[in-house]
Amino acid sequence: MSVNRIPVVEKILSANDSIAALNRKRFDETKTFAVNLMASPGAGKTSVILQTIAALTGRLKLGVIEGDTAPVTIDADRVIDAGMPAVQINTGGDCHLDAPMIDSGLKQLPLEELDLLIVENVGNLVCPAAFNLGTHANVLIASIPEGDDKPYKYPAIYRGLDVLIINKIDLLPYVRFNMDYFRTGVEALNPGLTTFAISCTTGEGINAWTDWLVQRSAELKR
Amino acid sequence: MSVNRIPVVEKILSANDSIAALNRKRFDETKTFAVNLMASPGAGKTSVILQTIAALTGRLKLGVIEGDTAPVTIDADRVIDAGMPAVQINTGGDCHLDAPMIDSGLKQLPLEELDLLIVENVGNLVCPAAFNLGTHANVLIASIPEGDDKPYKYPAIYRGLDVLIINKIDLLPYVRFNMDYFRTGVEALNPGLTTFAISCTTGEGINAWTDWLVQRSAELKR
């Protein structure tokens, strides 16, 4: 079965890459720094986005594309409540966002007015890694209660990262998590990866992450 | 793109179902109660398996198939260390187990000697829901720190469940989790679903879950 599947998957990925290149062209033309935010379900993608909005309001104009496998607007509603434009994409059960979905989402956002676009991918540590969306940076949120062995078990997603956020560090006293073991696994897959350890509950580390966004957005505008 | 993908996916699922039926036949003939254990990455699948082994040693003979996206044997090694036969299946980056993978795993296990087989699926709340493995029961582990909105965001996997395990209830004091909101979401998708609230850290609730396994295994042997 997998023998038959490979050519099909390659064709899909090649079509995806063409549209991803067009998405990237639009981000560059409008000077919108675009981030593909990935994570397991419940690692805190929406919480990180809300903290990012709170920290950047008045500094950057931010938009969000929310990917969901079902027609629920819980996350998009929370972003809109926070005062930023958001588009919800229902993948219809699909396990990842792809470049055509982003293309259709961009049609509903005032891209020319935005400094920063955050794409919240479907909660999944496997499939999103294979699909280039055309964004400038792949960011993964790892979460302390998920455990310290995730780089070893889901290596593909760690290899393709530009930034790693370690979230829920406030839970470190309550769970078994060996930070050295975790970081050794990450370093083997992606040496020197830019990493921010944060807590959306206490606010710790959020500024370092949002400063990075401000800097990258400024670089794009030069 | 999705228009082209649908017939391919249907063909794969139909081939999968034929092999799933053969897997089920082997489970029934050998009177091995088989469970497909699904969850997000880090929800505690391996911890639940290890607690289950500890509770059932001397009562049921148990085997495990470990699905991983990479050639790591961390989980399989932990099961073997606990004294039970385990087979590790590397999906080669694929996001779920399928029936042919289970078929190949079964060739390496002494199925005639086993009362219970636990299949640990790849950590993923989307893709595993679409693939029938031939097992008798679909079991999902939800985890308290993942948040209370997961049934609303990943409805497909909740609809197909026979049992729900709510793990890490020892973390309830440290995170925001509205149990009523969570249970209302589950009830809408899967009314009357058998549910066990547990903690692998304190051991709370493990016996209710393992008693259910003992009962279902005994029913299969009648």
Distance CA B125, CA B96 (A): 10
- The residue type found at B82 is A
Q: Is the pLDDT of residue B120 over 50?
A: yes
ipTM for the whole complex: 0.88
pTM of the full structure? 0.91
Task: Look up the CATH number of the domain holding residue B209.
Answer: 3.40.50.300
Nearest CA in chain B to A156: B93
Residues of the domain holding B126: 2-221
In angstroms, the CA A70 to CA A82 distance is 22
Q: How many domains does chain B have?
A: 1
Kindly list the residues from chain A whose CB atom is less than 8 angstroms away from the CB atom of residue B127: 95, 124, 126-127
- Give the tokens for residue A145: 């209660």
Q: Report residue A59 as tokens.
A: 């500094």
Strands (E), chain A: 33-39, 62-68, 86-90, 116-120, 137-143, 163-167, 194-197
B22, pLDDT greater than 70: yes
pLDDT in tens, B134-163: 999 999 999 999 999 999 999 999 999 999
- pLDDT digits over A149-207, tens only? 999 999 999 999 999 999 999 999 999 999 999 999 999 999 999 999 999 999 999 99
Residue with token string 């807590």: A199
Nearest CA to CA, how far is A56 from chain B (Å)?
24
Going by pLDDT thresholds of 50, 70 and 90, the confidence category of residue B1 is very low
Best A126, A132, A149 member to test B by mutation, with max B CBs in 10 Å, is: A126
Give residue-wise pLDDT tens across range A70-126. 888 888 999 999 889 999 999 988 899 999 999 999 999 999 999 999 999 999 999
